[in-house]
Structure 1
Amino acid sequence: MRILGPRWSRFLAVMSTFAVSGLMHEAIYYYLTCVSPTWEVTWFFVLHGVFMAVEIEVKKAATDRWRLHPVVSMTIVFLAVTGNLLFFPQLRRNGVDLKAINAYEIMIDFVKAHLP
Protein backbone atom coordinates (compact mmCIF):
# COMPACT_ATOMS: atom_id res chain seq x y z
CA MET A 1 0.00 0.00 0.00
CA ARG A 2 1.50 3.32 -1.11
CA ILE A 3 0.87 6.38 1.01
CA LEU A 4 2.59 8.82 -1.33
CA GLY A 5 3.10 8.62 -5.05
CA PRO A 6 6.53 8.92 -6.67
CA ARG A 7 6.24 12.68 -7.20
CA TRP A 8 5.41 13.46 -3.56
CA SER A 9 7.93 10.92 -2.29
CA ARG A 10 10.66 12.59 -4.34
CA PHE A 11 9.59 16.05 -3.11
CA LEU A 12 9.56 14.90 0.52
CA ALA A 13 12.99 13.27 0.15
CA VAL A 14 14.54 16.39 -1.40
CA MET A 15 12.95 18.73 1.15
CA SER A 16 13.91 16.65 4.19
CA THR A 17 17.48 16.32 2.93
CA PHE A 18 17.84 20.06 2.53
CA ALA A 19 16.06 20.86 5.83
CA VAL A 20 18.30 18.52 7.83
CA SER A 21 21.35 19.95 6.08
CA GLY A 22 20.20 23.47 7.02
CA LEU A 23 19.74 22.49 10.67
CA MET A 24 23.16 20.85 10.78
CA HIS A 25 24.78 23.96 9.29
CA GLU A 26 22.99 26.10 11.92
CA ALA A 27 24.52 23.85 14.60
CA ILE A 28 27.97 24.19 13.03
CA TYR A 29 27.59 27.97 12.84
CA TYR A 30 26.50 28.02 16.49
CA TYR A 31 29.63 26.15 17.54
CA LEU A 32 31.83 28.39 15.39
CA THR A 33 30.34 31.68 16.58
CA CYS A 34 28.73 30.93 19.98
CA VAL A 35 25.86 33.17 18.83
CA SER A 36 22.20 32.14 18.84
CA PRO A 37 20.94 30.95 15.44
CA THR A 38 19.35 33.49 13.11
CA TRP A 39 17.90 30.71 10.90
CA GLU A 40 19.26 32.40 7.77
CA VAL A 41 21.27 29.30 6.93
CA THR A 42 18.30 26.98 7.39
CA TRP A 43 16.20 29.18 5.10
CA PHE A 44 19.03 29.10 2.56
CA PHE A 45 18.82 25.30 2.46
CA VAL A 46 14.99 25.18 2.51
CA LEU A 47 14.87 27.59 -0.46
CA HIS A 48 17.36 25.42 -2.30
CA GLY A 49 15.28 22.35 -1.55
CA VAL A 50 12.17 23.96 -3.03
CA PHE A 51 14.13 25.20 -6.03
CA MET A 52 15.69 21.78 -6.61
CA ALA A 53 12.32 19.99 -6.32
CA VAL A 54 10.75 22.39 -8.84
CA GLU A 55 13.71 22.03 -11.19
CA ILE A 56 13.46 18.22 -11.03
CA GLU A 57 9.74 18.31 -11.89
CA VAL A 58 10.22 20.81 -14.72
CA LYS A 59 12.99 18.72 -16.26
CA LYS A 60 10.89 15.54 -15.95
CA ALA A 61 7.89 17.25 -17.57
CA ALA A 62 9.97 18.79 -20.36
CA THR A 63 11.82 15.64 -21.49
CA ASP A 64 8.83 14.29 -23.40
CA ARG A 65 8.29 17.49 -25.41
CA TRP A 66 11.74 18.98 -25.74
CA ARG A 67 15.12 18.64 -24.10
CA LEU A 68 16.60 21.40 -22.01
CA HIS A 69 20.15 22.42 -22.78
CA PRO A 70 22.40 21.62 -19.77
CA VAL A 71 23.38 25.29 -19.46
CA VAL A 72 19.74 26.26 -18.85
CA SER A 73 19.93 25.14 -15.22
CA MET A 74 19.62 28.20 -13.02
CA THR A 75 20.88 26.42 -9.90
CA ILE A 76 24.30 28.09 -9.97
CA VAL A 77 22.85 31.60 -10.29
CA PHE A 78 20.34 30.90 -7.53
CA LEU A 79 23.12 29.51 -5.32
CA ALA A 80 25.28 32.60 -5.81
CA VAL A 81 22.48 35.07 -5.08
CA THR A 82 21.01 33.32 -2.05
CA GLY A 83 24.46 32.43 -0.73
CA ASN A 84 25.36 36.11 -0.59
CA LEU A 85 22.01 37.01 0.98
CA LEU A 86 21.55 34.19 3.51
CA PHE A 87 24.59 31.90 3.87
CA PHE A 88 27.68 34.10 4.16
CA PRO A 89 26.41 37.19 6.07
CA GLN A 90 26.18 35.27 9.34
CA LEU A 91 29.83 34.23 9.02
CA ARG A 92 30.97 37.75 8.15
CA ARG A 93 28.83 39.36 10.86
CA ASN A 94 30.47 37.18 13.52
CA GLY A 95 34.05 37.44 12.22
CA VAL A 96 34.43 33.79 11.24
CA ASP A 97 35.98 34.79 7.91
CA LEU A 98 38.74 36.75 9.68
CA LYS A 99 39.31 33.93 12.18
CA ALA A 100 39.70 31.47 9.28
CA ILE A 101 42.21 33.71 7.51
CA ASN A 102 44.15 34.07 10.76
CA ALA A 103 44.13 30.28 11.27
CA TYR A 104 45.55 29.77 7.77
CA GLU A 105 48.34 32.25 8.51
CA ILE A 106 49.19 30.37 11.71
CA MET A 107 49.19 27.06 9.83
CA ILE A 108 51.49 28.43 7.10
CA ASP A 109 53.89 29.80 9.73
CA PHE A 110 53.88 26.42 11.48
CA VAL A 111 54.64 24.54 8.26
CA LYS A 112 57.41 26.98 7.32
CA ALA A 113 58.97 26.62 10.76
CA HIS A 114 59.04 22.83 10.53
CA LEU A 115 60.27 22.42 6.96
CA PRO A 116 63.93 21.42 6.60
Structure 2
Amino acid sequence: MVTSILRPTVYHPVQRISTRILGSRWARPPAILATFLVSGLMHEVIYYYFSRAYPTWEVTWFFALHGICVTVEVAVKKALGGRWRFHRLVSGPLTVAFVGITGAWLFFPQVIRYGLDQRAISEYSILVQFLCERLQY
Protein backbone atom coordinates (compact mmCIF):
# COMPACT_ATOMS: atom_id res chain seq x y z
CA MET A 1 0.00 0.00 0.00
CA VAL A 2 2.77 2.44 0.91
CA THR A 3 4.62 1.69 -2.33
CA SER A 4 1.49 2.31 -4.38
CA ILE A 5 1.13 5.73 -2.71
CA LEU A 6 4.77 6.87 -2.64
CA ARG A 7 5.77 5.73 -6.12
CA PRO A 8 3.33 7.96 -8.06
CA THR A 9 3.37 10.87 -5.60
CA VAL A 10 7.09 11.15 -4.77
CA TYR A 11 9.35 8.77 -6.71
CA HIS A 12 8.08 9.38 -10.25
CA PRO A 13 7.79 13.19 -9.99
CA VAL A 14 11.27 13.51 -8.44
CA GLN A 15 12.68 11.14 -11.06
CA ARG A 16 11.12 13.21 -13.88
CA ILE A 17 12.47 16.48 -12.46
CA SER A 18 15.88 14.90 -11.80
CA THR A 19 16.00 13.54 -15.35
CA ARG A 20 15.56 17.07 -16.72
CA ILE A 21 18.23 18.49 -14.42
CA LEU A 22 20.75 15.64 -14.01
CA GLY A 23 20.00 13.37 -16.96
CA SER A 24 18.57 9.87 -16.92
CA ARG A 25 21.74 8.28 -15.55
CA TRP A 26 21.60 10.25 -12.26
CA ALA A 27 17.82 10.66 -11.87
CA ARG A 28 17.24 7.56 -9.77
CA PRO A 29 19.24 8.36 -6.59
CA PRO A 30 17.39 11.62 -5.77
CA ALA A 31 14.07 9.86 -6.38
CA ILE A 32 14.97 7.00 -4.03
CA LEU A 33 16.26 9.36 -1.33
CA ALA A 34 13.24 11.68 -1.59
CA THR A 35 10.85 8.73 -1.30
CA PHE A 36 12.52 7.42 1.84
CA LEU A 37 12.69 10.92 3.32
CA VAL A 38 8.96 11.53 2.76
CA SER A 39 8.22 8.15 4.32
CA GLY A 40 10.29 9.10 7.36
CA LEU A 41 8.53 12.44 7.72
CA MET A 42 5.14 10.76 7.46
CA HIS A 43 6.13 8.33 10.22
CA GLU A 44 7.14 11.31 12.37
CA VAL A 45 3.65 12.75 11.82
CA ILE A 46 2.08 9.42 12.82
CA TYR A 47 4.25 9.24 15.95
CA TYR A 48 3.30 12.83 16.81
CA TYR A 49 -0.38 12.03 16.32
CA PHE A 50 -0.17 9.07 18.70
CA SER A 51 2.18 10.52 21.31
CA ARG A 52 1.63 14.28 21.10
CA ALA A 53 5.38 14.59 21.74
CA TYR A 54 7.60 16.70 19.53
CA PRO A 55 9.60 14.74 16.96
CA THR A 56 13.07 13.55 17.87
CA TRP A 57 13.78 12.88 14.16
CA GLU A 58 15.08 9.39 14.94
CA VAL A 59 12.46 7.85 12.67
CA THR A 60 13.31 10.23 9.83
CA TRP A 61 16.99 9.30 10.23
CA PHE A 62 16.00 5.62 10.13
CA PHE A 63 14.36 6.12 6.75
CA ALA A 64 17.11 8.45 5.49
CA LEU A 65 19.73 5.82 6.36
CA HIS A 66 17.74 3.14 4.57
CA GLY A 67 17.31 5.42 1.56
CA ILE A 68 21.05 5.99 1.41
CA CYS A 69 21.73 2.26 1.69
CA VAL A 70 19.20 1.38 -1.03
CA THR A 71 20.72 4.05 -3.29
CA VAL A 72 24.20 2.60 -2.75
CA GLU A 73 22.89 -0.94 -3.32
CA VAL A 74 21.25 0.07 -6.61
CA ALA A 75 24.44 1.84 -7.75
CA VAL A 76 26.64 -1.15 -6.87
CA LYS A 77 24.31 -3.61 -8.61
CA LYS A 78 24.23 -1.37 -11.68
CA ALA A 79 28.03 -1.00 -11.68
CA LEU A 80 28.49 -4.77 -11.45
CA GLY A 81 25.93 -5.34 -14.19
CA GLY A 82 24.42 -8.36 -12.47
CA ARG A 83 27.71 -10.29 -12.67
CA TRP A 84 27.99 -10.80 -8.93
CA ARG A 85 25.28 -11.13 -6.30
CA PHE A 86 24.87 -12.53 -2.82
CA HIS A 87 22.81 -15.69 -2.64
CA ARG A 88 19.34 -15.21 -1.10
CA LEU A 89 20.38 -17.29 1.89
CA VAL A 90 22.99 -14.60 2.60
CA SER A 91 21.25 -11.42 1.42
CA GLY A 92 17.96 -12.22 3.19
CA PRO A 93 19.40 -12.60 6.70
CA LEU A 94 21.73 -9.62 6.12
CA THR A 95 18.74 -7.44 5.20
CA VAL A 96 16.68 -8.62 8.18
CA ALA A 97 19.64 -8.03 10.51
CA PHE A 98 20.21 -4.53 9.11
CA VAL A 99 16.54 -3.58 9.50
CA GLY A 100 16.46 -5.13 12.99
CA ILE A 101 19.57 -3.35 14.21
CA THR A 102 18.69 0.04 12.75
CA GLY A 103 15.10 -0.38 13.92
CA ALA A 104 16.22 -1.06 17.48
CA TRP A 105 18.58 1.92 17.25
CA LEU A 106 16.38 4.53 15.52
CA PHE A 107 12.79 3.35 14.95
CA PHE A 108 11.55 1.70 18.14
CA PRO A 109 13.01 3.96 20.86
CA GLN A 110 10.26 6.55 20.26
CA VAL A 111 7.61 3.84 20.47
CA ILE A 112 8.94 2.67 23.82
CA ARG A 113 9.82 6.14 25.15
CA TYR A 114 6.26 7.40 24.76
CA GLY A 115 4.58 4.16 25.81
CA LEU A 116 2.95 3.60 22.44
CA ASP A 117 3.64 -0.12 22.69
CA GLN A 118 1.86 -0.37 26.05
CA ARG A 119 -1.11 1.67 24.81
CA ALA A 120 -1.45 -0.52 21.72
CA ILE A 121 -1.33 -3.71 23.82
CA SER A 122 -3.92 -2.24 26.20
CA GLU A 123 -6.25 -1.29 23.36
CA TYR A 124 -5.93 -4.71 21.74
CA SER A 125 -6.71 -6.42 25.05
CA ILE A 126 -9.85 -4.26 25.38
CA LEU A 127 -10.87 -5.28 21.87
CA VAL A 128 -10.28 -8.98 22.60
CA GLN A 129 -12.27 -8.71 25.83
CA PHE A 130 -15.12 -6.98 23.97
CA LEU A 131 -15.17 -9.64 21.25
CA CYS A 132 -15.08 -12.47 23.81
CA GLU A 133 -18.05 -10.98 25.65
CA ARG A 134 -20.02 -10.62 22.40
CA LEU A 135 -19.27 -14.16 21.29
CA GLN A 136 -20.55 -15.63 24.58
CA TYR A 137 -24.08 -14.32 24.04
1:92 corresponds to: 112
Greater relative contact order: 1 or 2 (C-alpha under 8 angstroms, separation 6 or more)? 1
What is the TM-score of this pair, normalised by structure 1?
Answer: 0.90
Shift of 1:72: 4.1
Tell me if the contact between 1:11 and 1:53 (Cα under 8 Å) persists in the aligned partners: yes
Aligned pairs, how many?
Answer: 116
1:4 corresponds to: 22
CA-based RMSD:
1.7
2:127 corresponds to: 107
Residue 28 of structure 2: SS of its match in structure 1?
Answer: helix
What is the TM-score of this pair, normalised by structure 2?
Answer: 0.77
Instruction: Identify, as 1 or 2, the structure richer in helix.
Output: 2
Runs of 4+ in 1 over 6 A off after TM superposition: none
1:28 corresponds to: 46
Q: Decide whether aligned partners of structure 1 residues 67 and 98 sit closer, same or farther in structure 2, where only a CA change above 3 A counts.
A: closer
Bigger drift between 46-55 and 64-73 goes to 64-73
Tell me if the contact between 1:62 and 1:68 (Cα under 8 Å) persists in the aligned partners: no
Deviations 1:58-99 (A, max 9, x none): 112223543442344343222111100000000101100000
Structure 2 stretches of 5 or more lacking a match? 1-18
Structure 1 residue 14 corresponds to structure 2 residue 32 = yes
Percent of residue pairs bearing the same amino acid type: 54
Residue 120 of structure 2: SS of its match in structure 1?
Answer: helix
Structure 1 residue 47 corresponds to structure 2 residue 59 = no
Between the aligned partners of 2:44 and 2:31, the Cα distance in structure 1 is: 20
